[in-house]
Structure 1
Amino acid sequence: MLQLHPEQIAQRLDQLTELSVELGRGAAAGMLHGGDITPLLERIVLVAKDMTGADGGTLYRPSADGRSLEFHISINDSLGLRQGASAGVAIGVPGVALWQDDGAPNLGSVAAYAAHRRVSVNIDDVYQSGDFNFSGMRAFDGHYGYRSTSFLTVPMSDHEGELIGVLQLINAQDRETGLVKAFSATDQRFIEALAAQAAVALTNQLLLRQLEQLLESLVNLINIGIDEKSPYTGRHCQFVPELTMMLADAVHATTHGPMADFQLSENERKQLWLAGLLHDCGKITTPVHVVDKATKLETIYDRIHLVDTRFEVLLRDAEIAALKAQLASPAQADEITLALREQQALLREERDFLRHANIGGEGMSPADQERVRHIAQRRWTGPDGAERDFLDANELENLTIRFGTLTDAERKIINNHISVSIRMLEALPWPKHLQKVPEYAGGHHERMDGKGYPRGLTREQMSVPARLMAIADIFEALTACDRPYKKGKSLSESLRILGHFSLNGHIDPDLFDVFIRSKVYLAFAHKHMQPDQVDAVDEAAIPGYVP
């Protein structure tokens, strides 16, 4: 076999060095763009062909079940064939079986042999070789009028010896005469070196993809835990990232106004999506009776039923007292009965009032709060025979909550979830391309005027993605119809509230403008809101928005 001149060897070393750089960059690019490294694999085949002067090259990849080698890329210059990879032409040739029907390894195919034995196979002339079954190759030659001669088949294994591919070159050509020749021993060594480099790149890419899948699975694991703990929060953790990305894409596509220059890279999109999935991860530590507190008196159970029982005791005691009074003064029986009815009617009215107060809502008037305090001063006798106030201090505090169902202490517990989320996320060793996830996720309760929490950041201190998520988080919470403590608001009312938020420094007015102008709100509403919530919206009437 002819050996290479020193300058040819130097040229091939340069090619290997250049390819090594390409493999590193290509693997990184594949990681950032969904793990697609097919163009990189095609480049490997092309460099191998050029390095050896081969007329054709094929790259096999193991099938998912490990039973066969599948054609991934196939190129032949003389025949003008380019299949698989970027050519977009499917390879209609069946794969090469790695195992026989009886379970024995298939050693009759040169590609399968190289895969099993993990050795290179260099054949000068396949028509003169009796070591392997080349019936498929002969059929190919007959179909295309081609003459296969020299073959070089090199296996590709990862660091653990697992097969990740087989590179096969056909018909080495003399660069001066164009005649087909055998692959030299130097050719083989260079292609083995190239295959080793390619295997490292492929292995690294597969490992990176597996790590990404592990990360995504861990994110889902956290959300499953939150969902099992509180299905209402679980739904929120699914819809907020979706709405965030809808708004992000709309802002990215904006060509006019203050957001016209904003662009979101694929890497930033990935980080924003992960941040959306994890933005409430801290709620996994929040007590369920606080997260899902549907009424003011609810803890593990709704204590309004205890209050009802006390009213029953008062009604009973009033009746017993009336009966005793009638026995003592029969002549006043009618007056006593009338007084009893009035007293019991008042008790039932107070019971119904407390039941209504327990529901919570947008606002409780000072007069209603004072009435609760008045009822609390009633006296009743408990099972232990001791007389006490009708409502204890905790019940009184809860039943006089002005907005919603949470006390100040419980609201602090809820608000603490974002601090916990930030601590959890910042504790993770995020790789460089995901380091913005904690910042994106941690800002959805901040306000543009610096009055938000937990860090009191202002608009200028927040990135656009973090400001995006704040709008998505609020809008989803307003429209959610599955919360135990409130009803889902209509679309028009939600936009009215959000509009006021854009005027009072709560959310970014520029992003709110895109949210309305691009009708992101409507696309989300049609997909996830109840039909009776999606009412007609007069955009001209939305506060803070100018059509």
Structure 2
Amino acid sequence: MGGSKRLRLRFHVSITSAILAVIVVVTLAAIGNVYYSSTKAAQQSAATLFSEISSRVLDQVDRQMGDTLTLAALGGRLPAGVEPVVGDGLAHPVVPFLIDTLAQDQSLYSLYFGYETGDFLQVIAARQDARVLAAHKAPENTGMIVRAISGQGEDRTQYWTFLDPSGAVLGTQTDAKPGYDPRARGWYKPAQDSVDKPVLSAPYLFNSLQQPGITASRRLPGQVGVFGVDITLADLNGFVGGQRVSANGGIVLLDDKARVLAAGRSLLGEATAPLAPLAEIDAPLARVLIGMLGAGRRDEATFVEGEGGTMMVRLSDWHVDNSLPITIAVLAPFNDFTSHIRNMQGQMVVLAGLVMLIILPAALMFSGRLSATVRTLAAEAERVRHFDFSGQAPGDSVIQEFDSLAQAFGSMKESLAQKAKALEIAQVKLERLVGLGIAMSSERDSNKLMEMILMGAKDLTNADGGTLYMRTEEDTLRFQILRNDTLGVAVGGASGELPNIPAVAMKDAEGKPNHRNVVSHCVNSEVTVNIVDAYDASQFDFSGTKIFDERNGYRSQSFLTVPLKPRGGDVIGALQLINARVPGTNDIIPFDPGIQSFVEALSAQAATALYNRQLLDAQEELMDSMIKIIAGAIDAKSPYTGGHCERVPELALMLAEEAGKVDNGPLADFAFTTEEEWREFKIGAWLHDCGKVVTPEYVVDKATKLETIYNRIHEVRMRFEVLLRDAVIEYMQGVVSGDHDEAELRQRMESRRTQLLDDFAFVAECNVGGEFMAPDKVERLKQIAQHTWVRTFNDRLGLSHEELKRFPAEEPQLPTLEKLLDDKSWHIIPRPGGKERYAGFGFNVNIPDNLYNFGEVYNLSVSRGTLSEEERFKINEHIMQTIAMLEGLPFPKHMKRVPEYAGTHHETMIGTGYPRKIGADGLSVPSRIMAIADIFEALTASDRPYKKAKTLSESIKILSFFKKDKHIDPDLFDLFLSSGVYKTYAERFLLPEQIDEVPVEQYLTKAAE
């Protein structure tokens, strides 16, 4: 009980503290926000004001300086300006222009022309200013002063003419030998050096006015002189002084040397002299400006801590072309902008304190009530967290929000209870959906897969019946599976029996998409169709359904039809479910739209699985067809191997099937248990001789020793013909000459004929290769080869480029003697790439140095058969090529042993076979089966032109010798006989005359022992 109170007390204090903390934090945040926002607003307002004032002053400076430069540019282009100055200059054509210009612009002090001759013409705007009059000793009421310097050397004179405002002459003054030379003035040379542009001088103090001013000058055409304009900065000073910044702020203009050009509102002290250097002014603002000038910051408002507090300063620069800049400084104490805000901020603090004194007690009073409600809600939430939806929601609360929260919590708990129950149901369906997806992905049988899809959909929806349609190549929808629990109908699926129901047409009689049938509409439109009651649906034709119902006493009511569409592919069929039922009853209800998404998900998975299965089946069928094409092409390549590649797999599969049935002895552990294993073995059997595709036909078909593409015995016979012809010619020449006895000549000719005929018959017999070539025969062959004949024609004519490469570089002189039979250098065909072609494959065979040797004596001396060593290797090489070809293919994991099954049928149990000399330990049962199948097919084949077909008993007898010599597996040989595989194969592939009785018992191992 105590623990409960401590928990309640801690929770109560926590809420109260939170409420108080929120109030305090919100109040302080509000005050802080107001303080920050108001200060920020003051800064932004001041910055905006400073920017506007800087822009105005900058515009004023730019306008005044720009007008001055424009006037200097205009005066410098006056044609009359180049006229020489004569006397007092009043007659000079530009004087009226100068007077009018000065009268119109009050900022101008004087206009003048200085010449390369030293002459000078100036008009000064006196404007009755006492300072100007005193400086030039001018009469009162003087408006303009015309000053002229002309003459040369000793005659050089300065003239002063004083005019009243109306232009009348008030008086004159003359100075002899004036010391003023315009060419020595600071404004003259820069203007002369500038190309067609006016030049602005640095600010300086006008002697007559003791005011700062600036001169703008431009050279005259032909560089005869310079036109100048003097302006005072009085107008700028007045403009700057008239700008309102703040109570204690203002504007200061500085030149490039930090001298004061103008300052407003006595910012730098009342006694500031014109063009006084800023560094010499003892004022706080002067020191602030000096620091800002050193910082180099421009065109932004900056806060600087000064002697009187925080100052706001903004610096901007004006300059044009190559003129010196003028710095515009706007500055004011920041306090001028925030004093009223500080008062407002103080009032806010006081007001916030009063508010907190009122709110805090009220918050403490209500916190207790809040705690009670929150504790109740917490207890309810804890029960909900453990999916316990019992208990009562909190009672009514005086606080409207908490009362609404309590009511909402109660509604939420009830809703969660319903959702939890629905979630449990959905979870079961989802688990079923996932399980179906996993099962479908691993199922290889299309019929079982389709049955799995339909039954899974029925379970998900608790449907009474369902149908699965598959799209055909004729663009119809064929009934694939039909199920109905009430009627006890189960057709199609794993049984393989298709429903005997007409297919649904995808198009109508006019060739347009069929939308009258719900299934064809679903497929054509690729949409799910959910029908509550087929008897009330007018969009689709259910006449066939109604006839079915009437015949079977059934009522098809609710329908859910979903297209089967794999991702990224075309619709391959449709799934239709009929009559959804209330779980546990037979009451028919519409299909729940909520469960529809599950069925669509299942349909998508099913479509993908079916599509993938169809694709895999098609790929396997294509691969099998390609393999059979290759095997058939090899068989068709030579009449001596016809049908071999087709019959060996049949025999191998028969024997493998029988071996898998053996449950004792060495073969007890062997059996192909999956379709993949059977397919792997079958492909290996079909491809066991695929390497023969590169074996030349003339080697495989070689029936005589001299045969290549053709039988070269004809060439040899022709040489004998030539020798016989030579003997006849010799006889005839002897008779004609009369030097020899005709009878003796004839006897010699006939003797030669007899010898040649006998020798050729011997050579022809050797060529056939029917008997073993004894050493004495080889010796006789070599003796015959030594006979010579005369070749008159060039044997290199008509040959290909490759043939000529094998001939010696030096040609014999014709006619030439040649041997009757010879092994020539061009009979040798080198092996391309040497013996390294099969490196890395583990072959253990002797590879001949040459690819072929067509030497006549060499081939006729072959001891057995017709093949030379090179040709026999070429025949045997087919198995090496088979292995190289197959091991280079990227077989999938379940077909990795194809190269093994195809490449080991020439190995023996004792390791004397080829190409790897693998013994019994390295030969699997399928490899041993392949060896027996290959040998037996070769023995019994009746389509070999070079040998007579052997009988069944003869073939078994020869095969038993292979067993005795330990070339083949004895257990498989016994099984081959005892199981009757040999007889089954003979009945299918042997000629009737080949089949005879086989004494099986005498060949079995036990009988032999």
Which residue does the alignment assign to 1:250? 658
The aligned residue for residue 23 of structure 1 is 440
Q: 2:720 aligns with which of 311, 314, 330?
A: 311
Deviation at 1:90, TM superposition (A): 4.5
Match of 1:216 among 617, 621, 624: 624
Counterpart of 2:879, as a letter, is: I
- The yes-or-no answer on 1:71 pairing with 2:458 is no
- The answer for the alignment partner of 1:12 in structure 2 is 429
Map residues 379-394 of structure 1 onto 2, 5 A cutoff.
379-384=788-793, 385-393=815-823, 394=855
Name the residue aligned to 1:404.
865
Q: Does 1:191 align with 2:599?
A: yes
**Per-residue deviation, residues 445-481 of structure 1 (Å, max 9, x unmatched):** 1111112111111111011111111122122223334
SS in 2 for 1:207: helix
Contact 1:294–1:484 (Cα < 8 Å) also in 2: no
TM-score, reference length from structure 1: 0.91
Describe the superposition over 1:424-458 as per-residue Cα deviations: whole angstroms up to 9, x where unpaired: 11111111221111111110111111121111111
For residue 367 of structure 1, what is the aligned residue in structure 2?
Answer: 776
SS at match of 1:546: helix
Q: Distance in 2 between matches of 1:526 and 1:504?
A: 28
Following superposition, the deviation at residue 108 of structure 1 comes to 0.3
Other-structure match for 2:640? 232
| Aligned match of 2:701 | 292
| Identity within the alignment, % | 45
Native 8 Å contact 1:470 1:507 kept in 2: yes
Q: Residues 326, 520 of structure 1: CA spacing in aligned structure 2 closer, same or farther, 3 A cutoff? A: farther
Instruction: Measure the CA separation in 1 of the matches of 2:1006 and 2:744.
Output: 65
Cα gap change, 1:425/1:109 in structure 2, threshold over 3 Å: closer, same or farther?
Answer: same
SS in 1 for 2:643: helix
Cα distance in 1, alignment partners of residues 771 and 598 from structure 2: 75
Measure, in 2, the Cα distance between the counterparts of 1:380 and 1:190.
95
SS of equivalent to 1:5: helix
Report runs of 4+ in structure 1 exceeding 6 Å deviation. none
Q: Is the counterpart of residue 124 in structure 1 residue 585 in structure 2?
A: no
Change in CA separation of 1:322 and 1:514 when aligned onto 2, cut-off 3 Å? farther
User: What is the distance in 2 between the residues matched to 1:49 and 1:431?
Assistant: 36
C-alpha distance in 2, partners of 1:209/1:407? 46
8 A Cα contact 1:275 1:437, kept in partner:
yes
C-alpha displacement of 1:225 = 4.0
The answer to whether the 8 A contact 2:449-2:610 is kept is no
Aligned pair partner of 2:986 in 509, 522, 525: 525
Letter in 2 for 1:25: S
**Given that residues 582 and 588 in structure 2 are in contact (C-alpha distance below 8 angstroms), is that contact kept between their aligned partners in structure 1?**
yes
Kept after mapping to 2: 8 A contact 1:107/1:113: yes
Query: Which digits, 9 at most, give the CA deviation of each residue in 1:39-64, with x for residues without a partner?
Result: 22112211211111111111011123
Structure 2 Cα separation of the partners of residues 345 and 533 of structure 1: 45
Aligned to 2:82: none
Q: 1:312 to 1:499 in 2, by over 3 A?
A: same
CA distance in 1: counterparts of 2:696 and 2:917, whole angstroms: 25
Contact 1:223 1:234 in 2 (8 A): no
What CA deviation, in whole Å up to 9, does each residue of 1:327-350 have, x standing for no partner?
556984445434433432332232
Q: Distance in 2 between matches of 1:376 and 1:127?
A: 103
Give the counterpart letter for 1:149 in structure 2.
Answer: Q
- Conservation of the 8 A alpha-carbon contact between 1:106 and 1:113: yes
- 1:150 corresponds to which letter in structure 2? S
- Partner of 2:555: helix, strand, or coil? coil
Q: Match for 1:200 among 604, 608, 611?
A: 608
Specify whether residues 230 and 39 from structure 1 end up closer, same or farther in structure 2 by C-alpha distance, changes over 3 A only.
Answer: same
Distance in 2 (CA, whole Å) between partners of 1:142 and 1:260 is: 59
Deviation at 1:140, TM superposition (A): 0.7
Pick closer, same or farther for the CA change 1:90–1:74 going to 2, 3 Å: same
Partner of 1:80: 488
Aligned-partner Cα distance in 1 for 2:483–2:492: 9
Q: For residues 271 and 6 of structure 1, what CA distance do their matches in structure 2 show?
A: 47
Moved more, 278-287 or 220-229: 220-229
1:494–1:224 distance in 2 versus 1, CA, 3 Å = closer
- State the match for 2:676 in structure 1: 267
Q: Which residue of 2 aligns with 1:351?
A: 760
Question: 138-147 or 2-11, which moves further after superposition?
Answer: 2-11
Tell me the CA shift for residue 89 of structure 1: 5.3
Task: Name the CA shift for 1:527/1:363 in 2 (closer, same or farther; >3 Å).
Answer: farther
Pairing 1:416–2:846 present: no
Q: Name which of 435, 445, 460 aligns with 2:896.
A: 435
Aligned residues of 2:910 and 2:966 also touching (Cα < 8 A): yes
Counterparts of 2:778 and 2:944, CA distance in 1: 25
Point out the structure with the larger strand share: 2
1:118 Cα offset (Å) = 0.6
Cα distance between partner residues in 1 of 2:665 and 2:447: 39
Is 1:144 aligned with 2:552?
yes
1:390 and 1:522, CA in 2 relative to 1: closer, same or farther beyond 3 A? farther
Instruction: Using the TM superposition, give the Cα deviation of residue 534 of structure 1 relative to its aligned residue in structure 2, in angstroms.
Output: 4.2
State the distance in 1 between where 2:862 and 2:780 align.
13
| 2:952–2:986 Cα contact (<8 Å) kept | yes
Other-structure match for 1:94: 502
Offset of 1:538 from its aligned partner? 4.0
Distance in 2, matches of 1:79 and 1:89, equals 18
Question: Hey, what does 1:33 align to over in structure 2?
Answer: none
Paired with 2:473 and 2:1002, the residues of 1 have a C-alpha distance of 57
RMSD: 2.5
Deviation at residue 284 of structure 1 after TM alignment = 1.4
Range 250-259 or range 40-49, more displaced: 250-259
Q: 1:89 and 1:380, CA in 2 relative to 1: closer, same or farther beyond 3 A?
A: closer
The 1:78–1:540 alpha-carbon spacing in structure 2 relative to 1, beyond 3 Å, is closer
Shift of 1:520: 3.0
Measure how far apart 1:522 and its partner are. 3.5
Provide closer, same or farther for how the CA distance between residues 366 and 538 of structure 1 changes in structure 2, counting only shifts above 3 A.
farther
Cα contact 2:564–2:571 (8 A) shared by 1: yes
Q: Following the alignment from structure 1 to structure 2, what is the Cα–Cα distance between the partners of residues 146 and 94?
A: 20
Structure 1 residue corresponding to 2:975, chosen from 503, 514, 517: 514
Alpha-carbon distance change, 535 to 6 in structure 1, aligned in 2, over 3 angstroms: closer
Distance in 2 of aligned mates of 1:252 and 1:41: 31
C-alpha contact 1:315 1:344 (8 A) present in aligned 2? yes
Relative to structure 2, which stretch is displaced further, 101-110 or 282-291?
282-291
1:499–1:544 CA contact under 8 A, matched in 2? no
Unaligned runs of 5+ in 1: 31-35
Deviations 1:5-55 (A, max 9, x none): 2221111011001111111221xxx2xxxxx32122112211211111111
Q: Quick one: which of 733, 738, 747 aligns to 1:324?
A: 733
The separation in 1 between residues aligned to 2:760 and 2:886, in whole angstroms, is 47
Match status 1:44 vs 2:453: yes
Note the C-alpha offset of 1:122.
Answer: 0.2
Any conservation in 2 of the 1:82–1:89 contact (CA below 8 Å)? Answer: no
User: In the alignment, residue 252 of structure 1 is paired with which amino acid?
Assistant: G
Q: Deviations 1:61-108 (Å, cap 9, x if unpaired)?
A: 112322x11111111111111112245654222111110111100000
- CA distance 1:211–1:138, shift in 2 (3 Å): same
Q: Greater helix percent: which structure? A: 1
CA contact (8 A) 1:444 1:473 kept: yes
Give aligned pairs, total.
Answer: 537
Q: What SS does structure 1 have at the residue aligned with 2:479? A: strand
Conservation of the 8 A alpha-carbon contact between 1:310 and 1:380: yes
Q: Is the 8 A contact 2:974 2:1004 kept in 1?
A: no
Tell me if the contact between 2:642 and 2:943 (Cα under 8 Å) persists in the aligned partners. no
2:564 is aligned to: 156
Deviation of the 1:262 alpha carbon: 2.9
Instruction: Give the equivalent residue in structure 2 for 1:501.
Output: 962
Structure 2 unpaired stretches of 5+: 1-417, 794-814, 824-854
Hey, what's the Cα distance between the residues in 1 that align with 2:900 and 2:931?
Answer: 12
